[in-house]
Amino acid sequence: MSTSTTDRPPTATSILSLRNVNKNFGAVAALTDISLDVAAGEVVAIVGDNGAGKSTLVKVLSGVHRPDSGDIRFESRPVTIPNPTAALDMGIATVFQDLALCDNLNVIENLFLGRELRRGRLDEIAMETRSWELLRQLSAKIPSVRIPIASLSGGQRQTVAIARSLLGDPKVIILDEPTAALGVAQTAEVLNLVERLRDRGLGVIMISHNMADVQAVADRVIVLRLGRNNGEFTVGEVTPEEIIAAITGATENAVTLRTAKIDLRGVKTAQSTVDKEVTR
């Protein structure tokens, strides 16, 4: 089912609400009148083709870019997000696609990089204890927090990046293409992490190109097209073909036409069987 967010007032249950957010880069309109809501314990997937504005939206919410206009509310309060530190302090954590992990450092050092615990000197025991706490919250399958990041799989790296985002006890986590370039088993591992974040009561924004991943864990889907809202769908009430149609801006596209051809082929076969029975 498709609904419109643009004209809807922010709801009382929303942790994060955007209304009519705009961002231009010179003459290029990257975002135009973008609106969305994210509630506690909800996974909202943002999908769209390349150039749809997904990356710009992530950077606006994470404090990398400041919007030119529009209203952003966090826990029903109007806010501005001038920089990434302000976003973290507010309770918005972002895990970017490149993960920003240091391969030569171990899990603990990556988790606390720039936020080390000190009591005159580094408190390695406290950091190790906290590292295991974070990883257990995510039911992470990591053999040791003392091994270098370079020795971990793609899914385990994503786990470490997500665990690091939980250090500041955020209320909203943004995951930018969390399953990109992962195998089947690793993708399943990361999707399990997304569900655990939702179960902990966090609002999750997941940027993704993968419709199977979106339908597996998302509660709602927001479609961006050419920097604008182009549909909001409730998962379970929408098909992948309908979402793809909104992404492409067409009600008919290669996927839906292919499906229609298959259905038509079935109808023709059934009709041919009926005709044979009639002529006997």
Give residue 214's Cα distance to chain centre.
9
Q: Does the structure show a pLDDT above 70 at 89?
A: yes
Q: What pTM, to 2 d.p., does this model score?
A: 0.81
Q: What is the mean pLDDT of residues 72-90?
A: 95
Give the model's pLDDT for residue 92. Answer: 97
Q: Read off the amino acid at residue 126.
A: A
Q: How far apart are the first and last CA of the chain?
A: 46
How far apart (Å, rounded) are the C-alpha atoms in residues 99 and 60?
Answer: 18
Give tens-digit pLDDT for 163-222. 999 998 999 999 999 988 788 888 998 999 999 999 999 999 999 989 999 999 999 999
Tell me the pLDDT band of 12, cut-offs 50, 70 and 90. Answer: low
Give tens-digit pLDDT for 227-263. 999 999 999 999 999 999 999 986 444 444 454 555 5
Please, what is the angle between helix 124-137 and helix 154-165, to 10°? 110
In percent, the amount of the chain with pLDDT more than 90 equals 67
**Average pLDDT value for the chain:** 87
Give the model's pLDDT for residue 61. Answer: 97
Q: Does the structure show a pLDDT above 70 at 2?
A: no
